[in-house]
A and B are shown apart, each in its own frame.
Chain A
Amino acid sequence: MRPVFRKLSALLSVAFLLVLSGCSEQYLVLDPKGPIASAQKDLILITALICAVIAIPVFAITAVIVWRYRDRPNRKASYKPEWEHSTKLELTWWGIPIIAIAILAIVTVNYTYKLEPSVAIESEKEPIEIQVTSLDWKWLFTYPEQGIATVNYFKMPVDTPVRFKLTSDMTMNSFWIPNLGGQLYTMSGMAMTLHLMADEEGSYYGSGANFTGLHFAQMTFTADVTSQDEFDAWVNEVKTTEEELTEAGVEQLKMKGSHQVAQYSSFPDNLFYDIMLQYVEEGETGAHAHHMSSEDSGQDASSEHNH
């Protein structure tokens, strides 16, 4: 039976090497460019380590037992067909996983509160807000403070916390920039809050992570992280050179289909919250209205919607 394990361990170690060597750029999750992604990477490595500490001895024990107790003539290993219970041993292997899981649980709960996406990132700088709307099948980014809008592309300044507000035109998607941190769902009728920050300039890959139908695979986008000056210059440039996003343009975007990268010098007032609340009727106290208010009251009073 040994070949099984030899092959297994060889394959596993190849896989492990691939992952380790993959701290190169291609392994986006293991190549953090911001505090959230960095903390998540640490957490991933800690849990992988705890798991490995248990798994590797188990592999070794398995290999030894399978080899040593195989049936063959004149073997020296003992055979005790009635040996079926040992309180000491069983307590040991109830104990080991309990301890390991207890440690892991403490770490996890701790990090769950620390990395809760709606909690603002501590920084000297004021956060900027970017509103993200998932449409079928493109991403619309609106900047309430700067007054510009983009499609399938956005820029953000480095070392500045960004408060992403997420909603969806209809289908549920998930907004994910692996280099900067974990994802969060975009859902109709709700403004979810995801705080991220980049501490290194660069162009980062982002995508929708929850299936939304036909051209779901086209919902990738680029997040450009630049210096504050470059960011400001870009905002100015967009404001002066690009066209406006009109109501008619919004209707175009809402139609099913994929879309090129685009930039707009302005967008209709309150566009994000209008899309978010489009299905909520006046005076309704349904699930959506409720969630919206609980979402907003807890996390940031600064959100300027006034519906």
Chain B
Amino acid sequence: MLDTVKEFASEFFVTGDPLILGAQVSIALALVAIVFVLTYFKKWRWLWTEWLTTVDHKKIGIMYIICSILMLFRGGVDALLMRVQLAVPNLEFLHADHYNAIFTTHGVIMILFMAMPLMFGLFNIIVPLQLGARDVAFPFLNSLSFWLFFAGAMLFNLSFVIGGSPDAGWLAYPPLSGIEGSPGVGQDFYIWGIQISGIGSLASGINFVVTILKMRAPGMKLMKMPMFSWSVLASSVTIMFAFPILTVTLFLLFLDRYLGAHFFTVDAGGNPMMYLNLIWMWGHPEVYIVILPAFGIFSEVVATFSKKKIFGYKSMVFALMSISFFSFFTWAHHFFTMGSGANVNAFFAVTTMIIAIPTGVKVFNWLFTMYRGKLSFPTPMLWAVAFIPCFVVGGMTGVMLSVAPADFQFHNSYFLIAHFHQVLIGGVVFGYFAGLYYWWPKMFGFKLHEGLGKWAFWFWNIGFYVCFMPQYALGLMGMTRRFNEYNFDMGWQPLNVVSTVGAFLMGIAFIFQVWQIAHSIRFLKKDNSGDNWGQGRTLEWSTASPAPFYNFARIPQVVAQDDWWEKQQRRERGEAEPAEVAAAEAAPLEPIHMPKNSGIPIIMSGFWFLAGFGFVWDWKWMIVLGLAGVAVTMLARSFNYNDDYYVPVEEIERIEAAAARGAN
């Protein structure tokens, strides 16, 4: 009996590595601590009613952001471990299997469990406010999306301490990721972690497309919509078309592994090249899914802190939508070296280059938004300005990579690694940081400490260049990605050491940010007035900070592209409001129709987690239990007709009056 338990435990838990043992112990301690604190302060009920069951887009957004910051920490530690290993030739710090697992989880976590939730967090918090709406189109589905993401992320992260991490690269090419190449359960954690959170992403994409198309305030024509909302539309449409491909691809890989099918195997007529095509048909649009909202954020931030209208609005909209469209026609540039022939390579080289055109136009438009503006440089603007040169270099090296015959020399080298980190950090991360700093007061009613933010900014920026510029050179020196060690005589060490130093500078920057948040919470200066930067342009700044749960007491009547800014201008000039605006503002308050909280999303996602965990270990009873639970919770939701309520006028008046007092 004891032996069977022992045997099971040694297979179930990852054992024999002090680093992982430390992680296991600290996870257990953290869990105990969380349970203790919640019980001691009697916060369980509060947690359940205020957060876990909420359908409020603002709270869901905050939960997304908390998760993404935790994931940034995990992915960042992975990166630092890798950089330590590579700083010295033939170092025996991480063994090959451990290193392979770490670069795999680093990639998956940073893209799918850090960038995506940070993006959805910002979508959630800002889009309804910017549109003058009271919530997203499908608040219940929105909550379900979050919990599915959470279940998937937890399942994926669990593989670190239970069963073993996936180690076939972040896109898991077969045959390596097939059952023969990766017999362990790590790859199953990969499939189910991504699969479950992927359902959530797809649902979010649909949710935001509908929200943007159907829930804009009266008067907000599409061509008067703020740029961030446009970028969310472009990104969400891309999600709608791209994520089903991912789901199908991973499902086929699952069939190969679980039922012995032969979609991507080398034998019995399977075709691994098909997997490469399919995964990149999702994977390439995916990088545009995360970068497009960053473009939207830059547009908002640059216009706000230039005190000037965004330049070339129509061009910007056209550029966003054309990038979204073209992103579906470039996937094969990820494997020019697969020998598809000159016709195919030439086609995909040219389609890839075409994307540089609208992207370049956007850069010029941001520059000319600043031109003849009145620029101030608080932290959001710093990130936006630092983004421009960084992204231009990243884009240019991207163009160099798109030159198919030259790519034969760049492919899978550190040149490629440097390129995509430059666009993903310099573009996506800088962009989301800009957005986070910019909208932080909107979320919480206080700004983050500027001084610490500047320290973080400089450490991030200098660290970035110190880390990744040498990697371009390393690529040209022939250093290939995913090497866990190299010989001293290659001459790669000096630049690797520089790169590692840069990575640690970024690690310090992250510590500054954590400090900054903690410090700002401790010494916060509450400012509920709404327009925290004093020069906001769009509707989110017209309501209190943080916004009341119903967002707007009266749905605003929109007349201009930068509606809030124009309103302030009219006020300054002492002009009267246009008739329709005056009428909307004078209208009596009406009861507000709101969705009720629901525990079903978190419970259903818990069952998804069970089903996924069951599939990973092939425990049939758990699979059945999990899927049955999913079905039952769906039915429960379908027959629940009591899912909405009205906020009475008296309560609205009370909340508005309190907000007005807070502002003064």
A pairs with B:
yes
Query: For the complex, is A22 an interface residue (Cβ under 8 Å from B)?
Result: yes
Query: For the complex, is B169 an interface residue (Cβ under 8 Å from A)?
Result: yes
Q: Is the CB of A182 within 8 A of B96?
A: no
Query: For the complex, is B412 an interface residue (Cβ under 8 Å from A)?
Result: yes
What mask results when residues 237 to 275 of chain B are scored 1 for a CB within 8 Å of chain A, else 0? 000000000000000000000000000001111111110
* Binding-face segment, B2-10, B343-351, B581-589: B343-351
- Closest residue of chain A to B390 (Cβ to Cβ) is A8
Q: Is the CB of A185 within 8 A of B478?
A: no
9 A-B pairs with CB atoms under 8 Å apart are A44-B403, A59-B392, A81-B374, A84-B308, A105-B349, A209-B412, A212-B176, A213-B182, A216-B96
Q: Is the CB of B309 within 8 A of A81?
A: yes
Chain B residues positioned under 8 Å from A293 (CB to CB): none
Query: For the complex, is B465 an interface residue (Cβ under 8 Å from A)?
Result: yes
Q: Is the CB of A79 within 8 A of B372?
A: yes
Q: Is the CB of B181 within 8 A of A94?
A: no
Give the residue of A54, A114, A213 whose beta carbon is less than 8 angstroms from that of B181. A213
Q: Is the CB of A79 within 8 A of B272?
A: no
What mask results when residues 446 to 476 of chain B are scored 1 for a CB within 8 Å of chain A, else 0? 0000000000000001100110011011011
Shortest Cβ distance from residue B631 to the other chain A in the assembled complex, whole angstroms: 37
Q: A51-B397, A284-B269 are in contact. List 5 more A-B contacts (CB 8 A).
A: A29-B410, A69-B306, A109-B350, A212-B176, A287-B271
What mask results when residues 401 to 420 of chain B are scored 1 for a CB within 8 Å of chain A, else 0? 01111111111110000000
Query: For the complex, is A248 an interface residue (Cβ under 8 Å from B)?
Result: no
Which 8 pairs, one residue from A and one from B, show the smallest C-beta to C-beta distance? A182-B408, A286-B269, A279-B267, A51-B396, A93-B364, A97-B360, A115-B405, A84-B309
Contact (A205, B337) CB under 8 Å given A19-B472, A116-B342, A211-B169: no
CA distance A52 to B96 in the complex (A): 39
What mask results when residues 1 to 39 of chain A are scored 1 for a CB within 8 Å of chain B, else 0? 100110110011011001100100011111000000101
Q: Is the CB of A185 within 8 A of B339?
A: yes
CA distance A85 to B269 in the complex (A): 57
Contact (A108, B350) CB under 8 Å given A62-B388, A69-B370, A97-B360: yes
- Closest residue of chain A to B265 (Cβ to Cβ) is A279
A-B contact count (CB 8 A): 309
What mask results when residues 39 to 63 of chain A are scored 1 for a CB within 8 Å of chain B, else 0? 1110110011001101100110110
Give the residue of A1, A212, A281 whose beta carbon is less than 8 angstroms from that of B377. A1
Chain B residues positioned under 8 Å from A117 (CB to CB): 339, 408
Query: For the complex, is B307 an interface residue (Cβ under 8 Å from A)?
Result: yes
In the complex, which of the residues B167, B367, B461 has the most CB atoms of chain A within 10 Å of its own CB atom?
B367
Query: For the complex, is A227 an interface residue (Cβ under 8 Å from B)?
Result: no
Q: Is the CB of A213 within 8 A of B176?
A: yes
Query: For the complex, is A149 an interface residue (Cβ under 8 Å from B)?
Result: no
What mask results when residues 58 to 72 of chain A are scored 1 for a CB within 8 Å of chain B, else 0? 110110011001110
Q: Is the CB of A66 within 8 A of B399?
A: no
Task: Give A contacts to B, CB under 8 Å.
Answer: 1, 4-5, 7-8, 11-12, 14-15, 18-19, 22, 26-30, 37, 39-41, 43-44, 47-48, 51-52, 54-55, 58-59, 61-62, 65-66, 69-71, 77-85, 89-90, 93-94, 96-98, 101, 104-105, 107-109, 111-118, 170-172, 174, 176, 178, 181-185, 187-190, 192-193, 205, 207-217, 220, 279-281, 284, 286-288, 295
Q: Is the CB of A15 within 8 A of B409?
A: no
Query: For the complex, is B533 an interface residue (Cβ under 8 Å from A)?
Result: no
Contact (A40, B473) CB under 8 Å given A1-B377, A105-B349, A213-B176: no
Q: Is the CB of A90 within 8 A of B484?
A: no
Chain B residues positioned under 8 Å from A97 (CB to CB): 356-357, 360-361
Shortest Cβ distance from residue A132 to the other chain B in the assembled complex, whole angstroms: 13
Chain B residues positioned under 8 Å from A62 (CB to CB): 367, 385, 388-389
Contact (A111, B405) CB under 8 Å given A77-B372, A101-B357, A116-B342: yes
* Binding-face segment, B20-28, B203-211, B311-319, B434-442: B311-319
Give the residue of B168, B353, B370 whose beta carbon is less than 8 angstroms from that of A65. B370
Chain B residues positioned under 8 Å from A187 (CB to CB): 272-273, 338
CA distance A273 to B357 in the complex (A): 46
Chain B residues positioned under 8 Å from A214 (CB to CB): 96-97, 100
Chain A residues positioned under 8 Å from B476 (CB to CB): 19, 22, 27-30
Interface residues on B, range: 35 or more
Contact (A81, B307) CB under 8 Å given A37-B409, A66-B370, A214-B96: yes
Q: Is the CB of B313 within 8 A of A84?
A: yes
What mask results when residues 349 to 383 of chain B are scored 1 for a CB within 8 Å of chain A, else 0? 11001101100110111011011111111000000
Chain A residues positioned under 8 Å from B306 (CB to CB): 69
Contact (A15, B335) CB under 8 Å given A1-B377, A29-B478, A90-B315: no
- Closest residue of chain A to B388 (Cβ to Cβ) is A62
Shortest Cβ distance from residue A190 to the other chain B in the assembled complex, whole angstroms: 8
Q: Is the CB of B96 within 8 A of A217?
A: yes
* Binding-face segment, B110-118, B189-197, B485-493, B619-627: B485-493
Contact (A55, B272) CB under 8 Å given A43-B403, A101-B356, A108-B404: no
CA distance A116 to B345 in the complex (A): 9
- Closest residue of chain A to B269 (Cβ to Cβ) is A286
Contact (A108, B405) CB under 8 Å given A66-B370, A84-B313: yes
Chain B residues positioned under 8 Å from A83 (CB to CB): 308-309, 311, 372
Contact (A79, B392) CB under 8 Å given A4-B386, A116-B341, A176-B480: no
- Closest residue of chain A to B349 (Cβ to Cβ) is A108
Give the residue of A22, A69, A183, A211 whose beta carbon is less than 8 angstroms from that of B477. A22
Shortest Cβ distance from residue A130 to the other chain B in the assembled complex, whole angstroms: 17
Shortest Cβ distance from residue A128 to the other chain B in the assembled complex, whole angstroms: 20
Query: For the complex, is B482 an interface residue (Cβ under 8 Å from A)?
Result: yes
Q: Is the CB of B462 within 8 A of A12?
A: no
Contact (A105, B478) CB under 8 Å given A7-B462, A181-B408: no
What mask results when residues 157 to 183 of chain B are scored 1 for a CB within 8 Å of chain A, else 0? 000000000011100010110001110
- Closest residue of chain B to A107 (Cβ to Cβ) is B403
**Which residues 289-346 of B have a CB within 8 angstroms of A?**
306-315, 335, 337-339, 341-342, 345-346
Give the residue of B173, B267, B354 whose beta carbon is less than 8 angstroms from that of A172. B173
Q: Is the CB of B413 within 8 A of A209?
A: yes
Contact (A94, B357) CB under 8 Å given A62-B389, A108-B346: yes
Chain B residues positioned under 8 Å from A193 (CB to CB): 339
CA distance A237 to B404 in the complex (A): 41
What mask results when residues 272 to 283 of chain B are scored 1 for a CB within 8 Å of chain A, else 0? 111000000000
CA distance A209 to B481 in the complex (A): 7
Q: Is the CB of A111 within 8 A of B367?
A: no
CA distance A281 to B404 in the complex (A): 35
Q: Is the CB of A93 within 8 A of B361?
A: yes
Contact (A114, B337) CB under 8 Å given A188-B266, A205-B478, A205-B490: no
- Closest residue of chain A to B363 (Cβ to Cβ) is A58
